[in-house]
A and B are shown apart, each in its own frame.
Chain A
């Protein structure tokens, strides 16, 4: 979920784990073959244990995934809901979406540019914070880590309300300060109506929520790098900048790959943060991204087939990114 970023969002959390799958099975695996684990020989038992989980995942994740593809090939609206009939239209929904200039001039740029900006800023800021925390002594490192943990823990939903309140055109902090110094006339500016400023605020929100995950993960990686490497390079006269690129970056390449790809996946499908901002819930078509567009088409317009096609499009983009993720993961860690 985009909200795992809400790593407090479990999504972020699941990412933390997913990027470092516990690999303790190898040793146990060899032990398991020893005679003595008598009960473990029962061929049916593992399947009985797995059954409830497989049923839940199959019925609630895999089948709906198939269903959304089927729906995207239908003109499925309120009439079809009422009658229960299907109205197959083949790829018509996709033709409509891809032929709509709205996709190319508004939704796709909103989705892609916003995701790119968020990913770059999240990873750069998170890495900078990790490098900084790594130079601190134990106490201040703990204080810093706890502070960013707080930023991480604030749920996407309440975090978004806070940023909306900070930028509230009427009484918000930014408006008050700017009016106080005479930079703007009271009540004349609304940052939420303009696409660019709308997304600037959304970016601030998402980056603020997302950088702690990168910082904590990279910091964990940094602490595994032997001190001697940096000391030796320092003796050889390498600057901090050069040491980062020559030592830290190559060693942590897998960590960077994973946090970048996960951030990309999350930032492409940001929903809550956009939907909850003024205009994001349908009032202002200029600020939709793919996720919000799919939602509005389905639940506000009642065009579930069209909404499904948009959702499939988003899924295909995420699938491409996920494939890269899986390749990185499997290159680094054997299951």
Chain B
């Protein structure tokens, strides 16, 4: 009996399939980068191969005082979100996966439910709230809002990582006379560190990519994050597509790197946390 893989028709079909898949998947990313390095992208119409290689578009974007500033704002907001959400989520994850208490199940359902809250519906009340608190145009205000967005997912994921740490380790620490706090820092935290890294990356990406709240809250250009700052390269009538694509490349790069890095981490965490196959 011939195996399928050896039939030449099947092999050819697979080759066509993989080429088509790669082309479809990678084309926009390729197009973004190739336009960014094409010296004539905006002026002479687009071609599949760039007319040359220039870093001028990147230099334009970076030299532009504004964009560097937006990058800094985005980094601040994203790092703040990561830091706050990691701490708060880890505490909550330990509570729901290490303690048996009344309403524990209700808490789990609540965390699952709030993931479903459509954030688009919250933009109006949160805008009015921030306005009353005088926190529009505040990077701190934006960070706090992103913390809330990142939290349900982070708690839910970390819960799996915490559950995967054998309770026996904690019990041994107790028997040795360690306090709860000591056990938490010396045993639990190092063991769930990979999980914290994985969820941190997703918190980072949430804050880095977020558009609608940044658009609504940030009204002074000095406070813009990169998704909002990007719009500055759009002219009234003409757009410098080379610059837009260079800026887009800069924004996309960290997400791409993080995403590829964390994917393995996350799936290992999922397997650790869930026993069902």
Which residues of A line the B interface, CB within 8 A?
A: 1-4, 6, 8-10, 13-14, 16-18, 20-29, 31-34, 36-40, 42-43, 45-47, 49-50, 52-54, 56-57, 59-65, 67-68, 71, 81, 129, 132, 135-136, 140, 143-144, 146-159, 161-163, 165-166, 168, 170-173, 175-176, 208, 212, 220, 224, 265, 269, 271-272, 275-276, 291, 294-295, 298-299, 304, 307-308, 311-312, 314-315, 318-319, 322, 325-326, 329, 333, 335
Asked if A23 and B22 make an inter-chain contact with CB atoms under 8 angstroms apart, the answer reads: no
Query: How many residues does chain B have at the interface if contact means C-beta atoms less than 8 Å apart?
Result: 123
Whether B22 and A312, one on each chain, are in contact in the complex, defined by CB atoms closer than 8 angstroms, is: no
Q: How far is the CB of B276 from chain A (nearest CB, A)?
A: 6
A197 CB, nearest partner CB in chain B, Å: 18
Q: Is B123 an interface residue (CB 8 A)?
A: yes
Other than A18-B115, A28-B98, A32-B167, give 10 A-B pairs with Cβ distance below 8 A. Answer: A14-B156, A17-B153, A17-B160, A25-B163, A60-B145, A61-B122, A157-B230, A165-B35, A171-B42, A171-B44
A325 — which chain B residues lie within 8 A by C-beta? 116
Number of A-B residue pairs, CB cutoff 8 Å, is 353
Judging by beta carbons under 8 Å apart, are B120 and A50 in contact?
no
With beta carbons under 8 angstroms apart, the residue of A6, A33, A136, A275 that contacts B18 is: A136
C-alpha spacing A9/B17, complex, angstroms: 27
A46 to B147, CA, bound (A): 21
Q: How far is the CB of B137 from the nearest CB of chain A, in Å?
A: 15
Residues of B within 8 A of A (CB): 14, 17-18, 21-22, 24-26, 28-29, 31-32, 35, 41-48, 87-89, 91-92, 94-101, 104-105, 107-129, 131, 144-145, 147-153, 155-157, 159-161, 163-164, 167-168, 170-171, 174-175, 179-180, 183, 202-203, 205-206, 208-212, 216, 227, 230, 238-239, 241, 244-245, 248-249, 251-252, 255-256, 258-260, 263, 266-267, 269-270, 272-277
Provide a sorted-by-A list of 22 A–B residue pairs whose CB atoms are within 8 angstroms.
A8-B205, A13-B205, A17-B157, A20-B270, A23-B273, A36-B174, A47-B101, A53-B92, A56-B148, A57-B114, A60-B145, A65-B121, A67-B128, A68-B122, A156-B211, A173-B48, A176-B47, A299-B127, A304-B124, A311-B121, A311-B124, A333-B276
Q: Is B209 in contact with A17, judged by CB distance below 8 angstroms? A: no
Distance to closest chain A CB from B98 (angstroms) = 7
Q: Which residues of A contact B35 (CB under 8 A)?
A: 165
The answer to whether A143 and B120 have CB atoms under 8 Å apart is: no
A37 touches B167 (CB 8 A): yes
A20-B270, A28-B97 given; A56·B88 CB < 8 A: yes
Report the minimum CB–CB distance from A92 to chain B (whole Å). Answer: 17
Q: Which of A22, A59, A165, A295 makes the CB contact (< 8 A) with B159? A: A22
B163 proximity list for chain A (CB < 8 A): 22, 24-25, 28
Using A49-B94, A158-B252, A335-B105 as known contacts, say yes or no to A64 and B230 having CB atoms under 8 A apart. Answer: no
* CA of A276 to CA of B26, assembled, Å: 21
Q: A46-B101, A53-B151 are in contact. Are A151 and B205 (CB under 8 A)?
A: no
Q: Are the C-beta atoms of B18 and A144 separated by less than 8 Å? A: yes
Selected from A50, A166, A269, A326, the residue in CB contact (under 8 A) with B92 is A50
Task: Report which of A2, A49, A151, A326 forms a contact with B29, defined as CB distance below 8 A.
Answer: A151
- Which chain A residues border B42 with CB–CB below 8 Å? 171
Contact call B149/A158, Cβ cutoff below 8 A: no
A1 touches B259 (CB 8 A): no
Do A53 and B89 form a contact, CB below 8 Å, given A33-B100, A151-B25, A176-B46?
yes
Do residues A155 and B122 form an inter-chain contact, with CB atoms below 8 A? no
Kindly list chain B residues whose C-beta atoms are within 8 Å of the C-beta of A326: 112-113, 116
Q: Contact check, A71 vs B256: say whether CB atoms are below 8 A apart.
A: no
Within 8 Å by CB of A147, from B22, B98, B114, B251, lies B22
Question: CB distance B144 to A298 under 8 Å?
Answer: no
| Residue of B88, B124, B127 with most partner-chain A CB within 10 A | B124
Residues on B with C-beta less than 8 A from A291 are: 120
CB distance from B166 to the nearest CB of A (A): 8
Chain A residues near B244 (CB, 8 Å)?
161, 165
Contacts A36-B175, A46-B104, A50-B92 given; does A314 touch B255 at CB 8 Å: no
| Nearest neighbor of A60 in chain B, beta-carbon distance | B148
Inter-chain contacts of A135 with B (CB < 8 A): 14
